[in-house]
């Protein structure tokens, strides 16, 4: 083997050695990506398996309901300064099915529990129409019934924070609109049992206590 051939094969060996390390690095990188993907899929699968969509059923006709109509009707019947409005899961589901395009969910169903409200629905901004469930808690702030998102660990994985906050915001906006539409009423408290939430209200002379 002459010197020219020796130099050629020596250069080939050097090139082969120089590319060996990058290929090993790429192979290790792909293995790590694969392992992380498997772990993520397992977590997502586990989160979905914990969700319960047994009550997510829209085969029935939801009633037409507005909070303002219930307030006015209850206040006239009782003819007192204080009165209560009971709302069951079906009525709340109808109330949550907002016609506003800004509402991020469709086919919404609500299940009232003793301390929370579970909302089921489909994401409007998802072409697959993926079903989700999220937990809301009811409270009273400034004479208004307010629903707040209290996400579980799996909800933070599956549901974008923007969607959770937007859902609660749109619900609260409609409640405030109905109260302002009635005028002269404010919410004192909200009591919950399974399948029913009772809104305790009072007539007020100062409407500013509602609008604040």
Cα–Cα dist 148/167, whole Å:
9
The conformational region for residue 73 under phi > 0 = left, psi -120 to 50 = alpha, else beta, is: alpha
Q: pLDDT truncated to tens, each residue of the chain (212 aa)?
A: 555 555 545 655 665 555 555 667 777 778 888 888 777 666 655 555 455 544 445 445 555 667 777 777 777 775 678 888 899 888 888 888 766 778 888 888 889 999 999 998 888 876 666 778 889 999 999 989 999 998 888 788 778 888 889 999 999 998 888 888 777 888 999 999 999 999 999 888 654 444 44
Stated pTM of the model: 0.65
Residue 183: both structure tokens together: 């005028």
pLDDT for res 18: 57
Cα–Cα dist 149/169, whole Å:
9
Token look-up 């319960």 returns 52
pLDDT for res 210: 45
pLDDT for res 67: 74
pLDDT for res 208: 47
């Amino acid at each position: 083997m002459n010197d020219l051939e020796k130099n050629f094969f020596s250069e080939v060996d050097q090139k082969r050695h120089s590319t060996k390390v990058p290929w090993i690095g790429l192979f290790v990188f792909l293995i790590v990506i694969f392992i992380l993907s498997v772990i993520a899929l397992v977590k997502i699968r586990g989160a979905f398996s914990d969700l319960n969509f047994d009550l997510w059923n829209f085969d029935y006709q939801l009633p037409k309901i507005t909070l303002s109509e219930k307030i006015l009707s209850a206040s006239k019947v009782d003819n007192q300064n204080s009165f209560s409005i009971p709302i069951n899961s079906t009525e709340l589901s109808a109330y949550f099915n907002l016609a506003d395009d800004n509402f991020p969910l469709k086919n919404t169903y609500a299940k009232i529990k003793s301390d929370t409200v579970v909302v089921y629905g489909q994401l409007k901004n998802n072409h697959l129409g993926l079903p989700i469930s999220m937990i809301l808690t009811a409270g009273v702030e400034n004479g208004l019934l307010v629903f707040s998102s209290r996400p579980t660990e799996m909800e933070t994985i599956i549901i974008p924070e923007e969607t959770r906050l937007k859902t609660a915001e749109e619900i609260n906006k409609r409640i405030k609109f109905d109260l302002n539409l009635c005028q002269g009423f404010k919410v004192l408290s909200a009591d919950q049992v399974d399948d029913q939430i009772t809104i305790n209200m009072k007539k007020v002379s100062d409407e500013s206590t509602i609008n604040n």
